[in-house]
Chain A
Amino acid sequence: MSSIVSVSSLGKAYAGGFEALKSVNLEIEEGEILALLGPNGAGKTTLISTICGITVPTSGTVVVGGFDTQTAFRGARNLIGLVPQELNLEPFETVMNTLRFSRGLFGKPRNDAYLEDILKKLSLHDKKDSKVMMLSGGMKRRVLIAKALSHEPRVLFLDEPTAGVDVDLRKDMWNVVADLKADGVTIILTTHYIEEAEAIADRVGVISKGEILLIQDKAEMMAQMGKKQLVVDLAAPVTKVPAALAAYGLEIGPDGASLIYTYDTKGERTGITTLLNDLQKAGLQMADIQTRQSSLEDIFVGLVKETA
């Protein structure tokens, strides 16, 4: 796959000296869904704003579809759709007129059939003649997506698309993103909901304090960095870990009813067989055993803590 967005040594410092982006490098492949994960104030929105032209970079370059965003801004911006974090909409206009405006702004000739098709996909078609101010928050969010798609972009930036959105709507939004990917749109979304990245992204980038700490295929990241836990439910509760098992670094579960063993899936030996043998030797009777994979959240928290 080829890169559709290339970010090289991108820096952004504000007048007060605050560095929102510190020499960010990022290659976004055509057709992928990239989730940029980071805590509040990490630089996610600044990165998106700088790629889209809202913020002027202090250093570095951004190339979108072969067009430099500074020297060939028209070519670059034609390819980009942006869904901002805030519900920034003209309240007194109808949904359809705001879409026509957006499409025209990007120099595309009027095409109501195409716009209506977008509205249908976003379940907004029955609201096309409603004033924006009459819509609910979730609908407004979808109007923003419709506006961003109105000029047929190849790259779509979604800045915190599900911030403050209820669970049902969040799932709807994920379906919308999946449909867009199926249509060949490259999607970059920022989020601080780990489950969102876990649910829909192909790759995950972790950003903190203006730097990209890690960017990797989601499954690879979880396989490489994910730790697994083996939970042994005991027939009789214990108050402390028997001395013979000290080497395993076991934790005692709630009410002493279980022992938890954390192991690295990357390691050559997991140590499970010897642990089970030693548990038996120590006279502990097992009622049940289960394993669980650590989530992206654990990885994320671990990474961000390391740089704190």
Chain B
Amino acid sequence: MNFTAVASIYRFEMARFFRTITQSLVSPVLSTSLYFVVFGTAIGSRIQEVEGISYGAFIVPGLIMLSVMTQATSNASFGIYFPKFMGTIYELLSAPVNFLEITLGYVGAAATKALFIGIIILITAFFFVDITIAHPFAMIAFLVLTCVSFSLLGFIIGIWAGNFEQLQLIPLLIITPLVFLGGSFYSVTMLPPVWQTITMFNPVVYLISGFRWSFFGTADVSIGLSLIAIAFFTGACLVAIWWIFRTGWRIRQ
């Protein structure tokens, strides 16, 4: 294992994040604050409580997940797409590194950035609503797992994308709708029965539900099922990345 290489990729990617630290952090904090103002205060004041929790507090886990999932995906996809676009990927391909080391470096950095943003949003939330975290270790575990799994997905998108439009396509057309319809702002039990069944095919539901459980101790689906879902998703992404590097798909001629 070439740990020096993993650390080099990680540091190089984190440097990109710190070069643009203001826009990296200000934008998620601002958009989250807007969500709190619109959903939490304006609309939330009419909703009162969901499953015994004030609506403002109820949406916090969903909001964090929304940002973390989109940030992890976009960071990781951009991280590997940029060297492809600039042509600097030749260096990765000719270096004594295997797929696991490249993935660890890029995905590790993207997941760290997403985690950083998730924590900032959580801190921001404390300024708007009263929240207590019932299972803090489980909360951190869910947050980290989500950062890692969505960074893996982003990494695959970055390798697949042939241009900047494609880089935006999957996050915009698939991930954002899945996250919005995955119970970020509502409990699945609030939906009509048919939609409750359909929603169960959305993998994001399991992540948000598990994460919300770590805050409030209540969940739409069982915590075990949530963990299985996230483990399956992470495993599937890893297998896909292993296959990509083995066959050289879209990266090695």
Residues of A within 8 A of B (CB): 14, 49, 52-56, 73-75, 77-78, 80, 82, 84, 86, 88-93, 97, 100-109, 147
Contact = CB atoms under 8 A, between A and B. Distances in A.
A210 to B, nearest CB: 15
Contact of A106 (B87, B96, B253): B96
A156 B146 CA distance: 42
Interface residues of B, number: 27
Given A54-B253, A55-B253, A74 B93 contact: no
Interface of B: 2, 4-5, 7-9, 11-12, 15-16, 19, 82-83, 86-88, 90-97, 248, 252-253
Contacts of B90: 54, 82, 84, 88
Given A86-B87, A106-B95, 10 more contacts: A54-B90, A54-B253, A75-B96, A82-B94, A88-B88, A90-B82, A101-B9, A105-B9, A106-B5, A106-B96
A21 to B, nearest CB: 12
B154 to A, nearest CB: 19
B2 A107 contact: yes
Contacts of B4: 104, 107-109
Contacts of A49: 253
Nearest to B83: A90
Contact of B87 (A55, A78, A88): A88
Nearest to A55: B253
Contacts of B253: 14, 49, 54-56
Contact of B86 (A14, A80, A89, A106): A89
A236 B83 CA distance: 67
18 contacts: A14-B253, A49-B253, A52-B93, A54-B252, A73-B96, A77-B94, A77-B96, A90-B83, A93-B12, A97-B15, A101-B8, A101-B12, A105-B8, A105-B97, A106-B5, A107-B5, A107-B96, A147-B91
